[in-house]
């Protein structure tokens, strides 16, 4: 049984509407030539700061100058729109020119737009998110600045998969530096745990059947967690099933299923219970020659979690990190709402402060003699599992989420849900082999479900 204290800080919420958010009214103002321009909520494609001001208002002139300085800052990540309430637009236009204001300005001399926003004093500032919801209002830029975060994104390839970052920060340069630090951490983990080239983990495989190997404590800890998860999942998650993976090589052209004899021979080398770990000496030993450990089933989840820890230690509390089908989200997105983990067929799970992992058989498979073989192998039988089409797990950390997504996929919905019932607030959406949707009690089931790795917004 896993320690329930691990789950105490995990939050899954299933509403994205904030109680204080309200829709922006559709309004019409005019440009400097007198042409009318209409703004509607559905036209707002980026966070926008709407400022109502008047040239005769002393505090307005002060805020207009501050806003213009903010507008010229490279850290600005929002659009700015000022609406002047002077009865004489020409006089206001001259005031804008004298202040060297560069952001767009419209004019509302009859106060029609001001009435829709219930303007009682100037300046009045409204921060509007994409889709037209008013997130924050105030009379000074300083009141809305905490809600104005630069959204910095990054996409790259590491660990043989696509890596994505979405991070909210006050300074673009510093946020990019924090992402660089997290990417360096992911690369470090890849170098430590890869089995595609020489690495500390490969030393364990090289010495299989020969002698124990001293390994970094980090690897020993992850091996121990993998063994625990294997026991918990009745062997459906197993880091020693690499010999089976070699038989089912989906990368080869014209791949054919291995023979029953080949599978029986490979199964003799499979079983996490055979792996011997000495936590005091930081040693591990594979007792049979040709046994092999492959951490691909949880290494990406571990890397995502460590990257998230780097961001948090650098002072960032609102971000999403994604590696293939593994995601960790924290805090809120740029619209001050929960992160929307969007499954490929448009189902949406609003999530914060937790991990999401999806395992599915829709992308890696082959067909032989009219039979479809997926890539998720049952370590107990040596054959591809046919119990599920896809499994999405929400859990406190990415290691648990990634490992459980594979275990539950192989166990199938009934036994998978029985397993998850022991783990507190771990949630799941399962699509069984017949396309039927299953879900844990704590999860509001979406109408449609994931068939491959999710995306995040």
Query: How many angstroms separate the CA atoms of 268 and 275, rounded?
Result: 13
Which candidate, 34, 163, 219, 56, places its Cα nearest to that of 110? 34
**Overall CATH class of domain 22-147:** alpha beta
pLDDT tens for the 457 residues of the chain, in order? 333 222 223 333 322 222 345 789 999 999 878 899 999 988 887 788 999 999 888 898 888 888 888 888 766 778 889 999 988 877 777 777 777 777 888 999 999 999 999 999 999 999 988 778 888 899 999 888 877 777 889 999 999 899 999 999 877 888 999 999 999 999 999 999 998 889 999 999 999 999 999 999 999 999 999 999 999 999 999 999 999 988 887 777 778 899 999 999 999 999 999 999 999 999 999 999 999 999 988 999 999 999 999 999 999 999 999 998 899 999 988 777 788 886 545 577 788 888 999 888 877 777 888 888 888 899 999 999 999 988 999 998 899 999 999 999 999 999 999 999 988 778 888 888 888 888 888 775 443 333 233 444 5
How distant is the alpha carbon of residue 198 from its chain centre? Answer: 30
CATH number of 149-457: 3.10.520.10
pLDDT at 17: 28
pLDDT at 75: 60
pLDDT at 158: 95
Question: Where are the domains positioned within the chain?
Answer: 22-147, 149-457
pLDDT at 11: 34
pLDDT at 94: 78
Query: How many angstroms separate the CA atoms of 355 and 330, rounded?
Result: 9
pLDDT at 14: 26
Could you tell me the pTM of the whole model? 0.73
pLDDT at 130: 75
Which residue is listed with tokens 């009859």? 110
């Amino acid at each position: 049984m896993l320690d329930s204290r691990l789950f105490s800080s995990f939050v899954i919420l299933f509403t994205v509407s904030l109680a204080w958010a309200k829709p922006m009214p559709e309004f019409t103002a005019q440009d400097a030539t007198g042409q009318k321009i209409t703004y509607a909520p559905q036209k707002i494609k980026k966070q926008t700061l709407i400022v109502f001001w008047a040239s005769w208002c002393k505090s307005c002139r002060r805020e207009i100058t501050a806003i213009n300085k903010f507008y010229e800052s490279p850290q600005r990540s929002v659009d700015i729109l000022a609406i002047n309430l002077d009865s004489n637009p020409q006089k206001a236009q001259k005031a804008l020119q004298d202040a060297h204001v560069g952001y767009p300005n419209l004019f509302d001399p009859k106060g029609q737009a001001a009435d829709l926003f219930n303007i009682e004093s100037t300046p009045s500032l409204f921060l509007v998110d994409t889709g037209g919801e008013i997130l924050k209002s105030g009379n000074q830029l300083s009141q809305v600045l905490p809600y104005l975060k630069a959204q910095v994104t990054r996409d790259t390839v590491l660990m043989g998969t696509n890596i994505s970052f979405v991070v909210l920060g006050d300074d673009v340069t510093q946020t990019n530096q924090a992402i660089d630090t997290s990417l360096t951490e992911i690369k470090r983990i890849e170098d430590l745990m890869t089995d595609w080239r020489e690495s500390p983990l490969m030393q364990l495989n090289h010495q299989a059947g020969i002698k124990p190997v001293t390994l970094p404590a980090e690897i020993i800890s992850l091996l121990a967690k993998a063994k625990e998860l294997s026991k918990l999942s009745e062997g459906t998650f197993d880091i020693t099933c690499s010999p089976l993976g070699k038989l089912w090589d989906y990368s080869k052209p014209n791949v054919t299923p291995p023979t029953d004899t080949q599978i029986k021979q490979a199964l003799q080398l499979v079983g996490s219970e055979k792996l011997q770990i000495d936590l005091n000496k930081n040693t591990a030993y594979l007792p049979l020659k040709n046994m092999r450990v492959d951490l691909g089933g949880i290494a990406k989840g571990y890397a995502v979690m460590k990257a998230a820890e780097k961001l948090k230690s650098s002072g960032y509390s609102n971000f999403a990190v994604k590696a293939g089908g593994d995601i960790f989200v924290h805090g809120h997105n740029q619209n001050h709402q929960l992160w929307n983990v969007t499954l490929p067929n448009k189902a949406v799970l609003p999530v914060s402060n937790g991990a999401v992992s999806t395992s599915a058989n829709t992308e890696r498979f082959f067909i032989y003699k009219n039979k479809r073989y997926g890539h998720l192998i049952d370590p107990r039988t040596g054959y591809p599992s046919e119990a599920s089409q896809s499994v999405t797990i929400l859990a406190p950390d990415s290691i648990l989420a990634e490992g459980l997504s594979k275990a539950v996929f192989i166990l199938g919905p009934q036994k998978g849900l029985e397993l998850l019932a022991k783990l507190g607030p771990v949630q799941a959406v399962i699509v069984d082999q017949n396309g039927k949707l299953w879900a844990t009690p704590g999860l509001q089931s979406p109408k449609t479900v994931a068939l491959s790795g999710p995306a995040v917004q």
